[in-house]
Chain A
Amino acid sequence: GAVVSQHPSWVICKSGTSVKIECRSLDFQATTMFWYRQFPKQSLMLMATSNEGSKATYEQGVEKDKFLINHASLTLSTLTVTSAHPEDSSFYICSARRGRDTEAFFGQGTRLTVV
């Protein structure tokens, strides 16, 4: 299967600061990347869809000014959590697809703890 690398795997930050999470497709070009959030013992909830070279599409209820997504190239998307608060503490996971009608491969996830 294809490899999607996510960095960092865990991060602790202070309230009010910003945190950037990177998602890279290592062995394929990803036309579309997706960002999910997962709370303990719950399923993945899609936050936004990121297409290379265009603005991300956010799901209802997700603040686009708080969760900044940049998809600068076909192999890299970043999620920046701005002015983080303790309630933003969660497991953030990205996924990437080569194109339509293909499998979605996931990164290993980033555990964010805001203190």
Chain B
Amino acid sequence: QKEVEQDPGPLSVPEGAIVSLNCTYSNSAFQYFMWYRQYSRKGPELLMYTYSSGNKEDGRFTAQVDKSSKYISLFIRDSQPSDSATYLCALEQGAQKLVFGQGTRLTINP
């Protein structure tokens, strides 16, 4: 079993839809949770960074962490074609090393 599981997709939704991206993990020692967006042939760009259960909102993006279920989510409201990218969850348990999910390829159709 992988430490972090993420559905690779691809996921295709119409513009304006709410997008839900998810990761599950098996190690309860993970303390920090991040979401990155990666465009083709580019490095990952940090979207959200959280360390506790609950919700964190930043503009159209909401990160949700449920430590009891070992489940994290990223919601994108009013999705735009420019949101089309691969979204990666990343978790850290210590020593500053990140474990990445496989990434979900998202396409927003105009």
Q: Which residues of A contact B (CB under 8 A)?
A: 1, 4, 6, 32, 34, 41-44, 46, 49, 91, 93, 95, 97, 100-101, 103-109, 111
Contact = CB atoms under 8 A, between A and B. Distances in A.
B14 to A, nearest CB: 24
A11 B42 CA distance: 14
25 contacts: A4-B43, A32-B96, A41-B8, A41-B105, A42-B102, A43-B88, A43-B100, A43-B101, A44-B98, A46-B98, A49-B95, A49-B96, A49-B97, A93-B43, A100-B96, A101-B32, A101-B51, A103-B34, A104-B34, A104-B46, A104-B98, A106-B44, A106-B45, A107-B43, A108-B42
B41 interface: yes
Given A43-B100, A105-B46, A108-B42, 14 more contacts: A4-B43, A32-B96, A41-B8, A43-B101, A44-B88, A44-B98, A103-B34, A104-B34, A104-B96, A106-B46, A108-B43, A109-B42, A109-B43, A111-B41
A110 to B, nearest CB: 9
Contacts of A101: 32, 51
Contacts of B36: 106
A42 B46 CA distance: 18
Interface residues of B, number: 23
Interface of B: 8, 32, 34, 36, 41-46, 49, 51, 88, 90, 95-98, 100-103, 105
A106 B51 CA distance: 19
